[in-house]
Amino acid sequence: MKNLVEKIQSKTALVGVIGLGYVGLPLVLRFARKEFKVIGFDTDEGKIRALKKGRSYISHIPDSEIKSLNKFFEATSDMSGLSRPDAIIICVPTPLDAHREPDMTYIKNTSCEISNYMRKGQLISLESTTYPGTTREILLPEFEKTGLKVGKDFFVVFSPEREDPGNKQFPAEKVPKIVGGITGKCLELGTLLYQSVFEKVVPVSSVEIAESAKLLENIYRAVNIALVNEMKLLFDRMGINIWEVIEAAKTKPFGFQAFYPGPGLGGHCIPIDPFYLTWKAREYDFHTRFIELAGQINNYMPYYVIERLIDGLNRQGKALQKSKILVLGIAYKKDIDDARESPGIKIIKILEEKNVQKVDYYDPYIPQLIKSRQISHPIFSINFDKKTISKYDATIIVTDHSCIDYDLLLSASPLIIDTRNVYKKKYKNVVKA
């Protein structure tokens, strides 16, 4: 342990990051900027090739940032190199399966790879969002198969990622970093490592506290978004503008935090994390009714958007099945290139199931949707110009990217379904949803 402390303090510790996506790659940059040498591991050969050529595949990280890593970073898909780092940080996906239950495949496979090559003196941190008990119940037993002892020969912590891509007000290094350890020595080393790159580290008493804190953060958001989505459904029937209601309510300087309605939830955290806790709760014969109700409301929102679309088309004497629909914005939030769990994808899927004549999308940050669990076939973004837009019977604003010309859209589209309150004034071709 003393040797590892000295290495971290002197910045001679070699840091390994497994998973070079929206969490892992920014973490690589933070350590490299502090002059730690970093090895990035990923099974995606395309990412490895891009990084070796100094190219970024994440929109908010410019190529210049990758090129600046030079002597401090190397990328590889060869997991045998896991014996080299002094500290290993796991940033792999934790999706839900087709039955909305936790898919722990990536975490299990990664822990097996580490176990195959681990050595004495390594610190291992899990950052992937998961249910309470994952670190102790999945990672630790796998590592202990080596015969090494936690807290003595190797050290394990959980430190939840708190990335918010595109958030310029709160860059990741300024967001306090929670750390929980299997043992006191684990916590001490984990805290020391993260203090090297984050302005504030918050040590907690166990890995389970750290795991639960991340879930609470996102469940809090999911529940409050569900509340405001339900209010929107009611106020729409009452002829009351939910957006103006929120603006009025948030003038109160205490006791209220503004959340905004939308076409559904997207991203890897808010639509996913609540189900990790509801799944784990079953082990304790506990039914998380409040969380599941919020999930039901949020999952309904894409269908509500389609209902509003049908109403708008009917008023123009058009049938949904004979219409051409454009989905504007496929990223899960504005000004980023991440489409994970995007409500836009769900809306496309619903429209295809309803056999519309044609459905396309436009997103300046995402030129193509590849085949995945959500998408049955590749889809390409269309060109955004007046002539092209006017060919569609309706446009659904799902993601309100800042760079989109909404005046052009207003003049070109015969019907706009506005789920983001882009148009504050009333227009005859705009329907709020």
Q: At 45, list the tokens.
A: 């050969």
> Rounded to whole angstroms, how far apart are CA atoms 88 and 186?
13
Identify the H or E element spanning 50: helix 45-52
DSSP 174-219: GSPEEEEESSHHHHHHHHHHHHTT-S-EEEES-HHHHHHHHHHHHH
> Rounded to whole angstroms, how far apart are CA atoms 177 and 53?
31
What is the number of other CB atoms lying within 10 angstroms of the CB of residue 371?
A: 10
Closest CA to 88 of 196, 190, 185, 191: 190
Q: Which of 91, 112, 186, 269 is catalytic?
A: 269
> Rounded to whole angstroms, how far apart are CA atoms 135 and 324?
48
Which residues, 6+ apart, have CB-to-CB distance to 133 below 8 Å?
208, 211, 280
The C-alpha torsion from 304 through 310 and 312 to 313, rounded to 10°, is 160
**269 an active-site residue?**
yes
Which sign does the torsion angle of CA 219, 371, 109, 125 carry?
Answer: negative
Closest CA to 27 of 185, 204, 226, 160: 160
Sheet holding 73-76, edge to edge: 73-76, 38-41, 15-18, 87-90, 122-126, 154-158, 177-181, 201-204
> Rounded to whole angstroms, how far apart are CA atoms 400 and 397?
7
Helical axes 289-315 vs 207-238, angle rounded to 10°: 30
Q: Which residues are catalytic?
A: 269
